[in-house]
Amino acid sequence: MINKERLISKFISYVKIDTQSDPYSNSTPSTEKQWDLAKKLVDELKEIGLQEVTIDENAYVMATLPANVPHKVPVIGFVSHFDTTPDFTGTNVNPQIIENYDGKDIILNKEKNIILSPEYFEDLEQYKGQTLITTDGTTLLGADDKAGITEIMMAMEYLVDNPEIPHGKIRICFTPDEEIGRGAHKFDVEKFGAEWAYTMDGSQIGELEYENFNAAQAIVKVEGKSVHPGYAKDKMVNSMYIAQDFINSLPRLETPEHTEGRQGFFHLSNIKGDVEETVMEYIIRDHDKMHFEARKQMMRDLVSDICSQYERDCISIEIKDQYYNMKEKVEPVMHIVDLAKRAMEAVHVDPIIKPIRGGTDGAQLSFMGLPCPNIFAGGHNFHGKYEYVPVESMLKATEVIIKLAELTAKEYE
């Protein structure tokens, strides 16, 4: 039986450490404060008895749970990231514990009238009677992905303390900078030495994912001409108006707030401008590779059309691919998804197999030679003040890890 209070205590100790990443930094990790949690995890891994505990110059933490069976079993791995999104503050996280949730509104912050309501966040209804951990309405929580880290740590501790549970060699890794798309960039797959792995980085209980978006980032720069407005006729070129033309020329309903499932989108994530220059940051997402390429080309063609319209190079675009759909790499080894599905069913969790409307380290790792489906970590409403995680979901995720280790060992007897 997993110790519920110990799990809660461990999780809270992690989320209280600020690990917000920074997309504008060129270092790895992108922020110095990520080292604080990385070093803490190294100490805890050693304390619970794992072997080959290492931390490299980029803060990637790895460790080994040796096999306890005589027969040969494929080495499997579990991966989670310790950074939190740069899009919302993770400083001074003050979690609230809601025991025996009554299914009603949760007041996160009375002073600011911030309420977590099941009328808006309908997923809350399925957790009535459970223990929820929420924010205080001023920060994110950090369950993405400190819930995953907690579950891996608890599962490894349980397997160490219960050697009668058979398992092969298990490798774990905790990574920096996943939230800025770099979590796998300096991941040493050869050193990790697993045949396949699972990221514990999904959302609601039961999620099991082996499809994700193809992803790219686009930086669009518009150049204008600033002239005194009193003398601007036929001279001023306002970059913000050209940017507006660009924005309005993209399909309005192909944005995150209007899409679901496998539908792709263009997302304007940031814009900063004045008369002289406007810079827009977009992310481009699509599950289908052909549609993904078409989206990128649409943006390039639009830039070309606007330049022709203004008869000068007033707008430019730079597009960088970030990651691709892992389905291509996982489908040839679908037994690893089947094992995860069986593990969930064995601990009475109904698997929800669906595409990820996002990405994980596992997407990049799959293309680096480490097939890596994604398993639920339990949290909801990531990257904002309405984030919460049911403790019972975290307990079940921990049980899934343990059962996966056991099933893999038995599969290869």
Residues 29-44 pLDDT 10s = 999 999 999 999 999 9
| Whole-angstrom distance, CA of residue 320 vs CA of residue 298 | 15
User: Which member of 18, 83, 286, 399 is catalytic?
Assistant: 83
pLDDT of residue 358: 79
Confidence label for 5 from pLDDT (cuts 50, 70 and 90): very high
pLDDT tens per residue, range 267-278: 999 999 999 999
Q: Is 287 annotated as a binding residue?
A: no
Q: Report the percent of the chain where pLDDT is more than 90.
A: 94
Contact (Cβ atoms closer than 8 angstroms) between residue 358 and residue 212: yes
- Residue 404: closest CA among 360, 357, 344, 320: 344
pLDDT tens per residue, range 211-253: 999 999 999 999 999 999 999 999 999 999 999 999 999 999 9
**DSSP sequence for 60-95:** -EEEEE---SSS----EEEEEE--B-TTS--TT---
> What does the pLDDT average to over 17-23?
96
Q: What is the DSSP letter of 322?
A: E
Strand, helix or coil at 196?
A: strand
Extents of the domains making up the chain: 4-212+325-411, 216-323
Confidence label for 81 from pLDDT (cuts 50, 70 and 90): very high
Contact (Cβ atoms closer than 8 angstroms) between residue 242 and residue 314: yes
- Residue 123: closest CA among 10, 206, 198: 206
Could you tell me the fold of the domain covering 4-212+325-411? Aminopeptidase (3.40.630)
**Tokens linked to 108:** 């996160």
pLDDT tens per residue, range 288-314: 999 999 999 999 999 999 999 998 999
| Whole-angstrom distance, CA of residue 124 vs CA of residue 103 | 7
Q: Is 81 annotated as a binding residue?
A: yes
Contact (Cβ atoms closer than 8 angstroms) between residue 356 and residue 324: no
Q: For the beta carbon of residue 142, count every other beta carbon within 10 angstroms.
A: 31
**Which stretches within 250-389 are classed as H helix?**
289-310, 327-330, 335-346, 361-367
pLDDT of residue 41: 98
Q: Report the percent of the chain where pLDDT is more than 70.
A: 100
> What does the pLDDT average to over 372-383?
96
| Whole-angstrom distance, CA of residue 103 vs CA of residue 93 | 24
pLDDT of residue 282: 97
Predicted confidence (pLDDT) at residue 359 exceeds the cutoff of 80: no
Contact (Cβ atoms closer than 8 angstroms) between residue 339 and residue 78: no
> What does the pLDDT average to over 64-82?
97
Mean pLDDT of the chain: 96
Q: Is 87 a catalytic site residue?
A: no
Contact (Cβ atoms closer than 8 angstroms) between residue 162 and residue 48: no
> What does the pLDDT average to over 182-205?
96
> How many H helices and E strands in the chain?
10, 17
pLDDT of residue 395: 98
Q: Is 178 a catalytic site residue?
A: yes
| Fold: same for 4-212+325-411 and 216-323 | no
pLDDT of residue 357: 87
Q: Is 201 annotated as a binding residue?
A: yes
- CA dist list (Å): 355 to 141, 151, 183, 199, 360: 24, 22, 20, 14, 12
Q: Which helix (H) or strand (E) holds 391?
A: helix 391-411
pLDDT tens per residue, range 92-130: 999 999 999 999 999 999 999 999 999 999 999 999 999
- Residue 139: closest CA among 406, 385, 394, 390: 385
User: Which member of 22, 151, 178, 399 is catalytic?
Assistant: 178
Q: Is 105 annotated as a binding residue?
A: no
Strand ranges inside 203-247, DSSP E? 207-209, 214-223
Strand, helix or coil at 230?
A: helix
pLDDT of residue 170: 98
Q: For the beta carbon of residue 268, count every other beta carbon within 10 angstroms.
A: 17
Could you tell me the fold of the domain covering 216-323? Alpha-Beta Plaits (3.30.70)
Backbone angles phi, psi at 173, to 5 degrees: -145, 135
Q: Is 350 annotated as a binding residue?
A: no
